[in-house]
Structure formats: C-alpha cells, structure tokens
Structure 1
Amino acid sequence: MNRLALLLAGSAVLAVATITPASASTASAGEVDTVTSCGNSGLQSGLSTRLCAEVTGTTVEFYGTVGLAGPPSPGGPGPAPKELITTLSTEVVGSGAAPTQQIAHVLFTSANLQVRGSAATVPCGSTVRATFGVASFPWAPRPVAHEVVITC
C-alpha cells in the first residue's frame, strides 16, 4: 500500500509541474515588456503600408511595413520588382527639436518588408509621432502616421 501511495503522490506532483507555466517561476522584477502598436494602413505607390511602434520602458522604435495591397493574380507572373524611396520621420511632440528623418532606397519584390528607424529614449509622459512615406516613380508618397505616449 505504501508503494501505491508513493506512486500516486509522485504522479500528482508531476501533473501539477506540467500544468504550471515555466514563466511563472522565472519572471524577474526588473524585466520590462515590449509593447507593439500600429497605426492605420494606407496605400502608397500601389502597395499597402503601415507604421508601427515598439515601446520598451522609455525607449521607442518605429518601423514601417510594406506589402502587396491584394493577392497576386492567380497563374500570372508575380509583380515586377519596384525600387522604393522610403522616408521615416520621428519627432517628440512639443520638444522643440527638429524631427529625425531617415531615407532608404529599398527593392520591393513581393515579400513583405520592414523599414526600421533608429531607437530613441524619451522622457516619461512624452508623445512621439512618426510618419512613413513610400514613393516609386511616378507616384509621390502619401505618408501614414502613428503616435504613442510613453507611460511609466
């Protein structure tokens, strides 16, 4: 009878150990989660674009995404590669500092791509606004915008 009780107790401990998530025991108090938010999508140069922000504590990094605006034609060749000129501008609202601007030339084939800006640390309570523009001859950019408030 002792063997049976020992076996049942061991099985119960094993069952509880497999149900308890590992993160519950390994989380430390100093970790800060990254929160990602995205603005509305827009059409630029015949492509779907969107601007997103990753906020970790008081550090924010914006990135723009570019993808097909719809599914490619079935049975047809994929879309022709496009040379894109992307502009990612970021500013801390009310700081008086000039917006930072990054311009990149990228080649879009048909796979989604990201254009990342540089990360910046800003004071608590700041509002950070960014715009993402995509141009390709003969289309001018029609930038999408997104802003986040840094809460602490």
Structure 2
Amino acid sequence: MKRFRFTLQPVAILRTHQDARAQEAFAFAVQALTKAEQEVAAAQARVRQFAADLVAGRAHNFSASEQIRALEAYRQECDAEVAAKQARAKAQQTMEQRRAEYIEAHRRLEVVKRLEQKARAQHRYETMREEQAEFDDYANRRAGRAAAAANP
C-alpha cells in the first residue's frame, strides 16, 4: 500500500498561516473598535458632566470669566467627543475590512482542505481497489490449486 501524498501540502500550509494572520488581525481590529467605543462613551459622559456643571454654575453665582473658561472647556470636550466618534468610525471601517480579509482567507483555506479530503478519498478508493484485486487474485489462485488437486 502506498502512502498518501497531497501535492498541494505547501499551499495548505501557506493558506493556514494566512488564515491565522488574518484571524489575528481581525481580533486586533475588534479590540481597537471596543476601545474606541469605550473612549466615545467616556467622552460623552464628560460632555454631559460639563453641560450639567455649566447649568449648575449659572444657578449659583454667575462669574463671566469662570463661565468663559467653562464654555471653552466644554467646547474642547465636545471636540474630543467628535474626534472619538471619528476614531470609532475609522476603527469600525478597519474592523469590517479585516473581517472581509479573514473571511476570504478562511474560504481559501477551506478550498484547499476540501481538495485534500477529495484526494484522500480518491487514495482510499484506489488503495481498496488494489487490495481487493490482490484478494481476488489470491482467491483465484487458491481455487485454481484446489481444482487442480481435485482433477489429477
């Protein structure tokens, strides 16, 4: 019985490595998106807090210079929130791109795996056919000897 040899084994190894790298890149992109979403949530919380502080500051003693500083800080926080949302959108886009790359790499790996399964099935079929032919030859020789011994 001859050993199974898959001629596309180097391709399978390469595709496995590409799949692993694409999966890792996708995981990093998901982590980056999660971090960006947390930063957006934190920025939104800071903006809400600044807005509440501005309203509360006007209710007590109104100092124009303090209000100007508070408004400037509020604008900076609003700008930080916008920047965080833009970073989240970019992270989302990157994650979608990495997901598509991972799906494509995985699909290509599955194609090679299916080819290997078909080649293994073909090899098993051919091996079984050869073994069956050997058994048939052996049985025919034995039957021939038995017939020759019975007819002297």
Common topology (TM > 0.5): no
Range class of TM-score, shorter chain:
under 0.3
Please identify which structure carries the higher strand content: 1
* Structure with larger Rg: 2
| Bigger RCO (CA 8 Å, 6+ sep) | 2
TM, length-normalised to structure 2: 0.23
TM, length-normalised to structure 1: 0.23
Please identify which structure carries the higher helix content: 2
